Homo-oligomer: A and B are copies of this chain.
Amino acid sequence: MSFKRTNPLALAVLALLSERPMHPYEMAQTMRERHQEEVIKLNYGSLYTVVESLRSHELITASATRKAGNRPERTVYAITEAGTRELHDWLRELIAVPAKEYPRFEAGISLVGLLPPDDALTVVEQRERAVGEQLAALAVLLERLAGMGLPQLAWIELDYRMAMLRAERAWLTWFATAIRDGTVGGHEHWEGQHR
């Protein structure tokens, strides 16, 4: 069986090992330090599963060592040539080809008609506020990163997220207004359903 590009955590592992050999726990630490866990879900159990899977496909190799005092034996991994190729191919695919994502909000909003209009308005406004707060927090973070002299390329994904959050907030603002004003198509029927 060839390697399956399911868990993006495997991508993170390949990316880290493309810098230098590491043992799993060190990968986790590094991901934390760089705030990568914001973008790629990190879970200890999954980390070791994923590392073992990469190893079994020979995309990385183990070079066991037992150094630095007498800590429990740590296994250090290094990326292989095939691993480097996989990293680049996977990366290109991830960027070039939009994946079906099934965002949870789409599922929720598609059924919003099941809630009475005033309940719907309340929750939409709540989300609008929450998204606004996320935007504010992100703006502060970007300010700090730019201030630290980090190049934009190092936090390009936050730039992207910012753009998406802005668009979501704008849509929520529109939808909230449309509910309030009763201008959303099908509003009479919606009201009629709930009383």
Q: Is A108 an interface residue (CB 8 A)?
A: yes
Q: Which residue of B lies closest to A134 (CB)?
A: B98
Q: Is A87 an interface residue (CB 8 A)?
A: yes
Contact across chains for B94 and A153 when beta carbons are under 8 A apart:
no
Tell which of A58-66, A70-78, A155-163 binds the partner.
A155-163
Q: Which chain B residues border A109 with CB–CB below 8 Å?
A: 95, 156-157, 160
- Chain A: interface secondary structure? helix
Interface size on A, residues (CB 8 A): 67
Q: A residues touching B (Cβ–Cβ < 8 Å)?
A: 8, 11-12, 15, 18, 36, 39-41, 87-88, 91-92, 94-99, 101-115, 119-120, 122-124, 126-127, 130-131, 134, 151-154, 156-157, 159-161, 163-164, 166-168, 170-171, 175, 184-187, 189-190
Query: Within the complex, which residue of B8, B110, B127, B168 is in contact with A97, where a contact is CB–CB below 8 Å?
Result: B127
Bound form: Cα–Cα A20–B152 in Å = 53
Chain B nearest CB from A174 CB (Å) reads 8
Contact across chains for A164 and B175 when beta carbons are under 8 A apart:
no
13 contacts between A and B (CB under 8 A): A11-B111, A94-B108, A98-B131, A99-B105, A109-B156, A109-B160, A110-B156, A153-B184, A153-B185, A156-B175, A163-B170, A163-B171, A164-B164
